[in-house]
């Protein structure tokens, strides 16, 4: 993937951006088709991130004043802000769906005009029951930024938005979206008169990061569903090993089908722990309370992609134990 991006950037420097972009349209179209196939569709559009794709689609959705949109308290913070802003502008009503203690949806009323949520929460490695939303008959705008590449994505939603840089292992600064042919969307507010009227690519970001799009196209083409059980088995092993390490507690059930494990501690600061682990060569992250409205304290997040080994996990446990004994 790095070679693909570097080769394009060198070509772009030699012949100019427009000429270089025109020469790779076939490769980009293959990437669009591969991204669409991830969600049971045939095409996709490119943006600079999942959040941009979400905003563009929401702006183009044919929802009148008074429309009722189902959402969750665990919605990703950036998307939640877009929802609140658009609801205020357009007179929509946001309906917070009931959830269990882990944030899983318990019910989707059939009298909604649209429902939207992340399939896998950013702040907690649990999978939403997408089938419940699909069975409600309400159009579903599904955020798969944290899902694509680590868990199975059900087909049948009205639209999907995703990113490149997470579990698909593509470059940063690129996102994508896909829309069912059954959904009649309006044009995005920024549409130029000559910008592919009626085509899905009219939702593309206007100033393309073409090298990044090529990287994402390659990632989508080479990703295999055979990776899913590997990622999920690694997470299950991590949850067993990490429970109690250094006094940390695992939030997710052991068999939750994601590669995300989050940890809480009664006294340790997740931010300080992350910094200390980074000094020891471990890359983990912290989810701040600003990430979602259902968070009360930051959590330490451990992701287990397919290349993580049992030895890596055992070393992380030892590091947490060591930090716990000196904390």
| CATH number of the domain enclosing 245 | 3.90.1150.10
Residue that terminates a domain, selected from 176, 206, 222: 222
Query: What confidence score (pLDDT) does residue 36 get?
Result: 97
Q: Are residues 169 and 73 in the same domain?
A: yes
Q: Are residues 218 and 248 in the same domain?
A: no
Query: What confidence score (pLDDT) does residue 188 get?
Result: 76
> What are the backbone angles phi and psi of residue 12, rounded to the nearest 5°?
-60, -40
Q: Are residues 34 and 153 in the same domain?
A: yes
Q: Are residues 156 and 56 in the same domain?
A: yes
Query: What confidence score (pLDDT) does residue 325 get?
Result: 67
Q: Return the structure tokens found at 168.
A: 């698909």
Number of structural domains in the chain: 2
H/E element holding 300? Answer: strand 299-303
Residue that terminates a domain, selected from 171, 196, 222: 222
Rg of the chain, C-alpha, whole Å: 21
Span 145-157, pLDDT tens digits:
999 999 999 999 9
Q: Are residues 86 and 162 in the same domain?
A: yes
Q: Are residues 60 and 90 in the same domain?
A: yes
Q: Are residues 253 and 269 in the same domain?
A: yes
Residue that terminates a domain, selected from 204, 222, 240: 222
Query: What confidence score (pLDDT) does residue 190 get?
Result: 66
Query: What confidence score (pLDDT) does residue 9 get?
Result: 82
Query: What confidence score (pLDDT) does residue 34 get?
Result: 96
Q: Return the structure tokens found at 7.
A: 């080769």
Domain residues for the domain of 308 are 227-326
Average confidence score pLDDT of the chain: 93
Q: Are residues 53 and 91 in the same domain?
A: yes
| CATH number of the domain enclosing 203 | 3.40.640.10
Per-residue confidence at 69, pLDDT binned at 50, 70, 90?
A: very high
Span 209-239, pLDDT tens digits:
999 999 999 999 999 999 999 999 999 999 9
Q: Return the structure tokens found at 310.
A: 């049992």
**Residue 2 clears pLDDT 90, i.e. is over it:** no
Q: Are residues 42 and 178 in the same domain?
A: yes
Span 120-178, pLDDT tens digits:
998 999 999 999 999 999 999 999 999 999 999 999 999 999 999 899 999 999 999 99
Query: What confidence score (pLDDT) does residue 12 get?
Result: 85
Q: Are residues 307 and 183 in the same domain?
A: no
CA–CA distance, 211 with 156 (Å, rounded to integer): 31
Q: Are residues 161 and 285 in the same domain?
A: no
Mean pLDDT of 113-119: 98
Per-residue confidence at 87, pLDDT binned at 50, 70, 90?
A: very high
CA–CA distance, 88 with 66 (Å, rounded to integer): 11
Q: Are residues 198 and 264 in the same domain?
A: no
């Amino acid at each position: 993937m790095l070679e693909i991006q570097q080769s394009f950037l060198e070509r772009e420097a030699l012949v100019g951006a427009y000429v270089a972009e025109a020469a790779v349209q076939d490769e980009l179209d293959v990437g669009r088709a591969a991204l669409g196939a991830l969600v049971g569709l045939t095409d996709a559009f490119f943006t600079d991130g999942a959040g941009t794709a979400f905003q563009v689609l929401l702006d183009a959705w044919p929802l009148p004043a008074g429309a009722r949109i189902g959402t969750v308290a665990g919605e990703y913070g950036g998307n939640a802000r877009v929802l609140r802003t658009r609801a205020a502008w357009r007179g929509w009503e946001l309906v917070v769906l009931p959830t269990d203690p882990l944030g899983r949806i318990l019910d989707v009323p059939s009298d909604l005009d649209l429902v939207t949520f992340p399939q896998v929460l950013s702040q907690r490695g649990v999978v939403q029951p997408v089938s419940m939303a699909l069975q409600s008959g309400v159009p579903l705008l599904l955020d798969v930024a944290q899902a694509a590449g680590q868990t199975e994505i059900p087909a049948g939603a009205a639209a999907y938005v995703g990113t490149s840089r997470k579990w698909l292992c593509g470059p940063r600064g690129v996102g994508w979206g896909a829309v069912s042919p059954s959904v009649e969307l309006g044009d995005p507010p920024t549409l130029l008169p000559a910008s592919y009227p009626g085509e899905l690519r009219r939702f593309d970001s206007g100033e393309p990061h073409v090298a990044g799009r090529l990287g994402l196209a390659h990632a989508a083409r080479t990703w295999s569903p055979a990776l899913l059980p590997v990622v999920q088995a690694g997470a299950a092993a991590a949850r067993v090993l990490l429970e109690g390490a250094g006094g940390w507690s695992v939030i997710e059930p052991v068999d939750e089908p994601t590669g995300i494990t989050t940890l809480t501690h009664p006294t340790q600061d997740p931010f300080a722990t992350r910094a200390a682990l980074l000094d020891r060569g471990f890359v983990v992250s912290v989810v701040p309370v600003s990430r979602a409205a259902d968070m009360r304290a930051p959590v330490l997040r451990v992701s287990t992609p397919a290349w993580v080994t049992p030895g890596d996990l055992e070393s992380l446990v030892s590091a947490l134990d060591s930090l716990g004994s000196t904390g």
